[in-house]
Structure 1
Amino acid sequence: MSIALTIFLLVFIGELIQWIGQSVLLELAYVLYLRLFHSGSAKRQRALKTEILTAKAELMQTSAQDQFAAWAKLRRRVDKGLADLEKLNGELGSARASFSMKFNVFIWIVTTGLQFAVGWWYSKTAIFYLPSGWLGPATWWLSLPFAPAGSVSCGVWQMACRRVIKVGERVVKDFAAPSMAAPTEEKKPEKAKTQ
């Protein structure tokens, strides 16, 4: 794969992640992570919540004075369920914090880290050469920082790709905005024409 296409794809992936939102991707990935690696804990958490709600409903219907033994038994069951749920929530919260940190590092590597590494590795490489005299004296700027004179450097190519993708995103949003707003608008009744 050519370096120009590689850089374009890295910039595109970075902008796509930024456009979707890192927090949205984190939530989706965490749900998948829970289902794959902590499915038993998640099922146990749901079962505990259901059990606690059922026991609380029974406790509310039981008179503490008239049926003290049944009420005390239900109360102990609710308290034990809440303690187990709190412990399980702590474990899942710890797993979520760990996953969140690893996911954020992965996203940084995929977006910023790879772009930086590729830009540094190919900093002296010309992405492509421009025809001589095409941009006049401004041609030297396109080869900054270390590419040969008369060429487009990796850093400039990354900036150009990012700008083109941002303009494309704006165009897509402009075209999508009217079509998304149209169904929510109500038609206003036409005024009767006077003759």
Structure 2
Amino acid sequence: MPSLLVVIFVIELVVQLINTIGAATINNLIWRAYLSLPTPLAKEFADQRKKQKEYLAVRHDLNATSSQDEFAKWAKLRRQHDKLLDELEKKKSHLDATRARFDRTLTVTRLVSTRGLQWLLPMWYAREPMFWLPHGWFPYYVEWFASFPRAPLGSVSIVVWQWACTAVLGLVVELVLGVLAAVARRRREGGKKKVPVGAAKGEGKKEL
């Protein structure tokens, strides 16, 4: 069984990643990955895309056909158009409902496995020391705070360890995002400073 220290750190890391990337973005990535698997739902989406292409082709032909000059052809295309549109709307309604259920399931699973554990573990292991501070190195008030709320005095409680992980990971995420933003800004500025080839040739002609 993994150490409780590691479990708490991993939970806080996952929460930070979700907050940084965004729950909606993660849901979309998982949804796309799920549709790439050979499942009945993926087949339904493939059929919908095929049906949509067929509908667009019929619609194009319908718009290109005159209802006065080619009435028989126009009427046939119109029936196909209406039939395909009705089928597409039914498929879209069914698939949208499936996606909504998928998102709800992911949301509940994510909340239980992250926020739920964030509350449950500190309550369950409130008296469990995560690790012990070196004896005599810290004053009483530091030891008291480190053991808050119910861990043995002189140890670091699960709550304090959780706070520490959250604070450190938050700083690391901000640092990484700041570095990435600075790199992107430098690349943009570097691209703007480059002199176009045509401009450089023009300057040479003026000197001559």
Unaligned runs of 5+ in 1: 190-195
Matched length? 189
Aligned to 2:21: 20
TM-superposed CA distance for 1:70, in Å, is 0.7
SS of corresponding position for 1:116: helix
Partners of 2:137 and 2:29 lie apart in 1 by 51
Map 1:170-189 → 2, pairs under 5 A = 170-185=174-189, 186-187=192-193
Moved segments of 4+, more than 3 Å: none
- Note the 1:37-116 alignment, pairs <5 A: 37=39, 38-116=41-119
How far is 1:106 from its partner?
Answer: 1.1
What letter is aligned with 2:42?
S
The Cα offsets for residues 135-168 of structure 1, whole Å up to 9 and x where unpaired, read as: 3323212211111112111011000010000111
Deviation sequence 1:96-135 (CA, Å, 0-9, x none): 0100100001111221112222222211101112233513
Q: What amino acid is aligned across from residue 24 of structure 1 in structure 2?
A: T
Amino acid across the alignment from 1:97: A
The residue that corresponds to 1:31 in the other structure is 32
More displaced, 5-14 or 81-90? 5-14
Contact 1:14 1:110 in 2 (8 A): no
- C-alpha distance in 2 between matches for 1:129 and 1:97: 47
Could you tell me how far apart the structure 2 residues matched to 1:26 and 1:122 are? 31
The alignment's C-alpha RMSD in Å is 1.6
The percentage of counterpart residues that share the same residue type is 35
Paired with 2:89 and 2:183, the residues of 1 have a C-alpha distance of 46
Partner in structure 1 of residue 201 of structure 2: none
Shift of the alpha carbon at 1:18?
1.5
Q: Which residue of 2 aligns with 1:193?
A: none
Instruction: Tell which deviates more after alignment, 13-22 or 158-167.
Output: 13-22
Deviates more, 1:161-170 or 1:177-186: 177-186
TM-score normalized by the length of structure 1: 0.91
Q: Is the 8 A contact 1:132 1:150 kept in 2?
A: no
**Equivalent of 1:168, from 161, 169, 172?**
172
